[in-house]
Amino acid sequence: MKKARIIIGANYGDEGKGTVVAHYTKNAQGSVLNVLTNGGAQRGHSILTEDGSMTFQHFGSGTYHGADSCYSRFFILNPMQFVKEYASLIHKPQNIYRDPLCRWSTPYDSMANLISEKLQKRRASCGMGIWNTVERYNNNIGVTPFSDFCMLPYEEKMSFLYGVKKYYEDKMSIPDDYKGVWNSLGLMAHFIVDCDSMYELTEVSYVQSLYPLYDEVIFENGQGLLLCDTGKDTFDTTPSNTGISYALQMLKGVDTSIQAHYVTRPYLTRHGDGDIMNYSTFRNNLSRSIEEDRTNHFNEFQGEFRYGRLDITPLKNRILKDCKGVNFSVELTHCDEMDRVKEFERRFLEVNTYDSALIK
């Protein structure tokens, strides 16, 4: 029987999902399909390798260890990020698949995202335009399937992008310092070239039809359970289900063993301006061993990387609520930074531990 693993962030994101995906990919017995389950390129899943630190946004974190990438219908494509990241990959996937129902973002979704954050003077977004893209689709603006867009004549592609551009111009005032790039014909042309490149480098396929081709399928979720969609457009959540639900939909009817892996640090972390439970002004108040995070630093879009104390009882409750009876393990990362392993092992049947070093 084939294996399906579902890697889920248990908190606010940044738990170490990339580390866990890379670990199971490297140690898999056979070929691996790495499915990007939800969200979009706002994710930043980092792993440490012999070639240094690598961050994956539009590709699976198993890419370095030979996994193929697949974008589920719940993932939002970003052609410009795809092309930029593909060029930077040390080991490129042999196959890259995308579901024909994937939504996709334009530069105007991303810029509108950045503009709204700037006008509201908050840091709560990566600037990839995820919420903007979802809202645009909900308003039935620019919903042409990605493959169909790529098949259009150049003039019709430009007309499509002008329609998305006008949609935002009717909704918001474009600040003077954005007007140059906002009105740039060069940006449109660049985006069209990137779309064509992504079209050529990817193959359309439903996730379900790919199962027979691989020995193991690893679903890599974005964000974490505490950021799950509430049905409202709030700055501190994400417009997707961050738990097990989407993966189970794609596994329905498939003869496979399913294991859910809920990832957490021994403490809480969070980017942006949203609330964080048990917030600590200084990470050293939680443990003197917690070092400055290697991959999460202050940035103008998300502000400071914040820390908080993790209560295990609420953690266990949200995992049990989400897992829907599927066998699960807790993947405890950054264990070299805080001595709480025995406390977790007393509360969960299966706990796998990782430190901040190379993937074993």
- Alpha-carbon gap, residue 180 to 186, rounded angstroms: 11
pLDDT in tens, 160-180: 999 999 999 999 999 999 999
Residue 40 pLDDT grade (very low, low, confident, very high; cuts 50, 70, 90):
very high
Q: Do 68 and 164 reside in the same domain of the chain? A: no
Sign (positive/negative) of CA torsion 221, 242, 139, 132? negative
Has residue 235 been placed in a domain?
yes
Q: Are residues 225 and 83 in the same domain?
A: yes
Closest CA to 284 of 218, 337, 357: 337
pLDDT at 60: 97
Residues 214 and 137 in one domain: no
CATH number at residue 236: 3.40.440.10
Q: Predicted confidence band at 194 (pLDDT cuts at 50, 70, 90)?
A: very high
| Domain-located, residue 37 | yes
Asked, for residue 208, whether it belongs to a domain, the answer is yes
Domain identity same for 71 and 213: yes
214 shares a domain with 323: yes
Whether residue 235 has pLDDT greater than 70: no
Looking at per-residue pLDDT, the higher value among 239 and 212 belongs to: 212
Residue 12 or residue 121, greater confidence: 12
**Residue 114 sits in the same domain as residue 249:** no
297 within some domain: no
Boundaries of domain holding 47: 2-99+204-265+311-353
Of 41-55, 125-139, 244-258, 272-286, give the range with the top mean pLDDT.
244-258
Residue 341 contacts residue 353 (beta carbons within 8 Å): yes
Residues 160, 162, 165: CA angle, nearest 5 degrees: 115
Q: Is the pLDDT of residue 32 over 50?
A: yes
The reply to whether 243 and 192 lie within a common domain is no
Q: Are 257 and 42 in contact (CB under 8 A)?
A: no
Residue 279 pLDDT = 73
Mean pLDDT of the chain: 90
332 and 243 within one domain:
yes
Which of 198, 217, 233 is the last residue in one of the domains? 198
Pairing status of strand 279-280 against strand 306-308: antiparallel
Give the contacts of 68 (CB within 8 A, at least 6 positions apart). Answer: 31, 32, 33, 34, 93, 94, 95, 96, 97, 214
What pLDDT shows up at residue 341?
93
Over residues 302-313, the mean pLDDT reads: 83
Same domain, 75 and 171: no
Q: What is the pLDDT of residue 75?
A: 97
**Is 71 in a helix, a strand, or coil?**
strand
Residue 272 structure tokens: 């942006």
Q: Is 272 within a domain?
A: no
Report if residue 275 sits inside a domain: no
Tell me how long the chain is.
Answer: 360
Domain contains 324: yes
Q: Looking at residue 304, what is its pLDDT?
A: 73
Where helices occur in the chain by DSSP H, the ranges are 17-26, 79-88, 107-119, 130-138, 146-151, 154-169, 176-182, 185-201, 207-210, 245-251, 312-323, 341-347
Please state the rounded mean pLDDT for residues 84-101: 97
Task: State how far the alpha carbon of 316 is from the alpha carbons of 43, 309, 330, in Å.
Answer: 24, 15, 9
Among residues 198, 222, 252, which one ends one of the domains? 198
167 vs 355: which has the higher pLDDT: 167
**To which residue do tokens 């805080």 refer?**
338
Q: Which of 24-28, 49-53, 298-302 has the highest mean pLDDT?
A: 24-28
Can you tell me the mean pLDDT for 280-307?
66
Count of structural domains, the chain: 2
pLDDT of residue 298: 47
Query: Which of 95-109, 222-236, 322-336 has the least mean pLDDT?
Result: 222-236
Given 170, 198, 226, the domain boundary residue is: 198
Residue 125: HSE in the Cβ half-sphere, 13 Å Cα cutoff: 26
In a domain, 291, yes or no: no
- How far is Cα 290 from Cα 256, in angstroms, rounded to an integer? 39
- Residues 129 and 253 grouped into a single domain: no
| Residue 234: predicted pLDDT | 56
- Summarised one tens digit per residue, pLDDT across range 110-145 is 999 999 877 666 555 566 889 999 999 999 999 999
The Cα–Cα gap between 227 and 237 comes to 5
Measured CA to CA, the distance from residue 360 to residue 3 in angstroms comes to 20
The reply to whether 209 and 343 lie within a common domain is yes
* Whole-number pLDDT of residue 221: 98
* C-alpha span between 11 and 92 (Å, rounded): 30
Say yes or no to pLDDT of 5 above 90: yes
Q: Tell me, what's the pLDDT at 123? A: 54
What's the pLDDT score for residue 340? Answer: 92
Q: Are residues 332 and 225 in the same domain?
A: yes
Least confident of 232-236, 321-325, 352-356: 232-236
